[in-house]
């Protein structure tokens, strides 16, 4: 029996879920073609805000790879939208004039962003945010522009606004209503949300209407109905979506707001179905993923002749993916003659909960700050569970009394992942039957957590409850005994919740010891410095003693003081001053160090401020996890074997990156010829001069375990060396684990991966620009009075000739 031809118009989340469900039920019934208008395979549109907020890459949002389509024998057409459907011939025609015959056609065309029909809405930098291309266009504009306006204070608009702030823009949200997200939140929750977002730096114009957008080719500003004008380089419309129905309407299908379907998702044509945002069921269209996936399951059952009661409509919920703001909304959230609300507000922690009741049943809930009960309320609503056995209001639980979700008491049929309709029992069965030990494995097999990701914490709890001690053995090691969170998890949460201090991190991420320990305190301080170089005030109390005192503690409790000597270059004035201080304080040892500097050893701690004051020099940073000195030979200026001016380059490198924090000490060496007197091959960043330029080696480490640096590339100029060094250092800063040297870091990430990123001109430039921004924040460095080394300047000038 030959297969029926099934052609789906649209390559989005709802449509692909329908196809996945069909394949699970019967993979042999249909020959499938999928036609998409975007140049990508199916991706998670919900996660576009995470791309904008720098939490994910485009690649990480792909849900079905090109290989997936091939594996399942699906013909995929991308970047070629359908323009017409001939229902008599059962034929579909695309923009590129491709023709496809169908036995069954599914419209999964989704929605398009609604753009206000106001003057200026056609300008280049006005965007209706909906796609990857829209997101990348916004990021591109943000690189060179400062001011953004987001029209619409709903879920999409606020996620967009937060993302544009993360891109470095100053953002104002224009909202027509009295409070934010008025369709999902009551006034109290909306006001709490606004206050938290304002604290993050977001600006608002409430009860405001945009009259027109100003500019000729690109946006220059907007004008509000009251005459107020605001400066803008980018305007994003987030005022709603409209089901994409043009093709359906032009071929004669019944269309109202969306494509009209019955309970089995069939349109007015018995061979054509519709699913997702483009479908209208019982007068209702849906823009959230959970009901769309429910529709997909019903349609898959119907098309594979499985028993189904049809689609009965959905109870929806909303959660927000904005840094530092946790909210949950479900069901009916307005009081009336029949619906009454019970609310509790904890003003200390800004936790707000309101449950809406109709008789003895929960019909809605709004949670802000503490959303742990969201899933429980949602399940009670879906199951129409009566509330007689529940306490209406609870206050001041003891620490040992749980007020939130108890996984052990949770019924197997209770929904864990609302987006994908996955309950606890399905997850437990998947764990026990397939030996799953991680959240990612559960997600891959059950799809729980594959959409908005808010339920991953509960999935982890179910894993822990199901596996017991085995789960502990399989958990990733935390950074210290205070927490089970890894470096990546902590960094992600700092960004996601916009945490600004170590104390906030330890409390918000629920560290076991809220005071921290000597292992996590300096690590978190580093991560905060790395993520927020301008906003975070360096917490000196979290640094090791060496870094607090700008001196290295020795085996007898005294300290070594090592002033800065860029490139190992000094002069008579500095030498005299060093001698005078050594004499004045009876310094036991004055020694040339292994890093081409002069150290004063054996100084008591109480004398350190006086010694530094008398020296009047900057510290050489010979103690911290940051850029150390750059060793160099005299090179071409004096040595007969030298091929380049290495001392000059060494000084330039040190000036460019001095005092910048790194996960571990970062050493550099610049050798004037392949003899490599400076031992550049065992430096984190090593440079060996050759006739045609500079060979670059990375990941070399000395110490108890010596690692030879790996050859990266050869560049021609000093400027290229500095740019490449900055990009390498910044990539190490952003991805390294605190106290991890470059050799194990390079092994962990893979040399090929790192080299591909560093040698990509665009990525290299971006990384270099980011570290230069960090350098500009180093004015906070207490040793800001820079000593002018006459000899260093003289050599620099000689080598320029």
- The DSSP secondary structure of 99-150, one letter per residue, reads EEE-SEEEE---EEE----STTTTSTTEEE--SHHHHHHHHHHHHH--EEEE
160 known member of a binding site: no
Instruction: Round to whole Å and give the CA distance between 745 and 239.
Output: 45
Q: Residue 767 in 3-state DSSP?
A: helix
Q: Can you say whether the dihedral through the CA atoms of 775, 781, 783, 786 is positive or negative? A: positive
In 10 A of CB 473, how many CB atoms? 9
Q: Counting beta carbons within 10 angstroms of the beta carbon of residue 142, is it exposed (0 to 12), middle (13 to 18) or buried (19 or more)?
A: buried
Residue from 466, 525, 461, 516 nearest 491 by CA: 525
Residue from 530, 506, 527, 601 nearest 563 by CA: 601
In 10 A of CB 266, how many CB atoms? 18
Please tell me the number of Cα atoms within 13 Å of 522 on its side-chain side: 18
Strand partners, 204: 173
Q: Can you say whether the dihedral through the CA atoms of 164, 166, 170, 175 is positive or negative? A: positive
The two tokens of residue 392 are 């209406």
Q: Residue 279 in 3-state DSSP?
A: strand
633 known member of a binding site: yes
Q: How far apart are the first and last CA of the chain?
A: 84
Q: How far is CA 58 from CA 42, 48, 49, 50, in A?
A: 11, 8, 11, 9
677 known member of a binding site: yes
Q: Counting beta carbons within 10 angstroms of the beta carbon of residue 721, is it exposed (0 to 12), middle (13 to 18) or buried (19 or more)?
A: buried
The helix (run of H) or strand (run of E) holding residue 162 is helix 155-166
Burial profile 272-307: b = 16 or more Cβ within 10 angstroms, e = fewer: bbbbbbbbbbeeebbbbbbbbbbbbbbbbbbbbeee
Instruction: Round to whole Å and give the CA distance between 605 and 582.
Output: 15
Binding residues for siroheme: 677
Binding residues: 633, 639, 673, 677
């Amino acid at each position: 029996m030959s297969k029926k031809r099934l052609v789906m118009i649209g390559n989005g989340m709802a449509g692909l879920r329908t196809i996945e469900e069909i394949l699970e039920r019967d993979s042999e019934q249909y020959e499938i073609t999928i036609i998409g208008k975007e140049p990508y395979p199916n991706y998670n549109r919900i996660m576009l805000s995470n791309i904008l907020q720098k939490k994910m890459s485009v690649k990480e949002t792909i849900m079905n790879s090109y290989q997936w389509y091939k594996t399942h024998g699906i013909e995929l057409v991308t970047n070629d939208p359908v323009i017409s459907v001939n229902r008599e011939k059962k034929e579909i025609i695309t923009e590129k004039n491709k023709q496809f015959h169908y036995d069954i056609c599914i419209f999964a065309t989704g929605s398009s962003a609604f753009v206000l029909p106001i003057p200026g809405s056609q300008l280049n930098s006005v965007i209706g945010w909906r796609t990857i291309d829209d997101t990348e266009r916004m990021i591109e504009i943000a690189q060179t522009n400062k001011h953004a306006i987001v029209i619409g204070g709903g879920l999409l608009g606020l996620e967009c606004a937060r993302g544009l702030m993360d891109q470095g823009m100053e953002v104002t949200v224009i909202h027509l209503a009295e409070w934010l997200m008025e369709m999902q939140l009551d006034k109290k929750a909306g006001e709490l949300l606004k206050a938290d977002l304002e604290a993050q730096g977001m600006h608002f114009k409430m009860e405001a209407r945009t009259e027109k957008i100003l500019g000729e080719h690109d946006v220059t500003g907007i004008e509000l109905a009251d005459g107020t004008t605001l400066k803008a380089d980018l305007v994003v419309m987030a005022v709603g979506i409209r089901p994409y129905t043009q093709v359906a309407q032009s071929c004669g299908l019944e269309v109202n707001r969306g494509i009209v379907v019955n309970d089995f998702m069939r349109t007015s044509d018995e061979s054509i179905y519709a699913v997702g945002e483009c479908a209208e069921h019982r007068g209702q269209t849906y823009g959230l993923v959970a009901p769309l996936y429910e529709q997909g399951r019903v349609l898959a059952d119907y098309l594979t002749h499985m028993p189904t009661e049809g689609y009965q409509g959905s109870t929806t919920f909303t959660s927000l993916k904005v840094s530092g703001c946790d909210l949950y909304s479900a069901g009916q959230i307005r009081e009336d003659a029949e619906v009454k609300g019970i609310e509790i507000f904890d003003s200390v922690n800004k936790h707000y909960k309101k449950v809406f009741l109709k008789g003895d049943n929960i019909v809605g809930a709004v949670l802000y700050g503490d959303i742990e009960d969201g899933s429980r309320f949602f399940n009670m609503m879906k199951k129409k569970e009566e509330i007689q056995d529940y306490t209406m209001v609870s206050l001041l639980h003891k620490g040992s009394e749980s007020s939130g979700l108890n996984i052990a008491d949770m019924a197997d049929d209770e929904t864990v992942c609302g987006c994908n309709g996955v309950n606890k029992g399905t997850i437990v069965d998947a764990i026990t039957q397939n030996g799953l030990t991680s959240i990612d494995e559960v997600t891959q097999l059950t799809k729980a957590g594959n959409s908005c990701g808010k339920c991953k914490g509960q999935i982890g709890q179910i894993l822990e409850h199901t596996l017991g001690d085995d789960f502990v053995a399989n958990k990733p090691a935390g950074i210290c005994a205070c927490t089970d969170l890894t470096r990546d998890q902590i960094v992600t949460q700092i960004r996601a919740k916009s945490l600004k201090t170590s104390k906030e991190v330890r409390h918000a991420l629920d560290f076991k010891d809220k005071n921290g320990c000597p292992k996590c305190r300096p690590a978190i301080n580093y991560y905060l410095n790395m993520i927020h170089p301008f906003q975070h005030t360096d917490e000196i109390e979290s640094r090791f003693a060496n870094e607090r005192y700008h001196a290295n503690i020795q085996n007898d409790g005294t300290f070594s003081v090592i002033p800065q000597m860029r490139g190992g270059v000094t002069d008579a004035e500095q030498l005299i001053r060093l001698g005078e201080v050594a004499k004045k304080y009876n310094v036991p040892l004055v020694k040339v160090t292994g890093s081409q500097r002069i150290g004063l050893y054996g100084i008591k701690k109480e004398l350190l401020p006086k010694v530094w004051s008398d020296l009047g020099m900057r510290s050489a940073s010979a103690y911290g996890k940051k850029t150390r000195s750059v060793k160099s030979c005299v090179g071409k200026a004096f040595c007969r074997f030298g091929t380049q001016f290495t001392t000059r380059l060494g000084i330039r490198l040190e000036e460019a990156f001095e005092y910048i924090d790194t996960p571990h000490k970062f050493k550099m060496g610049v050798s004037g010829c392949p003899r490599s007197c400076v031992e550049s091959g065992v430096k984190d960043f090593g440079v060996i001069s050759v006739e045609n330029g500079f060979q670059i080696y990375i990941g070399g480490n000395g110490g108890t375990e010596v690692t030879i640096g790996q050859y990266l590339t050869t560049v021609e100029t000093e400027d290229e060396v500095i740019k490449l060094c900055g990009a390498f250092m910044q990539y190490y800063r952003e991805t390294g684990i605190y106290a991890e040297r470059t050799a194990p870091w390079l092994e962990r990430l893979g040399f090929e991966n790192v080299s591909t990123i560093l040698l990509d001109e665009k990525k290299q430039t971006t990384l270099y620009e980011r570290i230069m921004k960090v350098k500009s924040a180093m004015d906070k460095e207490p040793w800001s009075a820079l000593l002018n080394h006459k000899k260093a300047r003289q050599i620099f000038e000689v080598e320029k000739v």
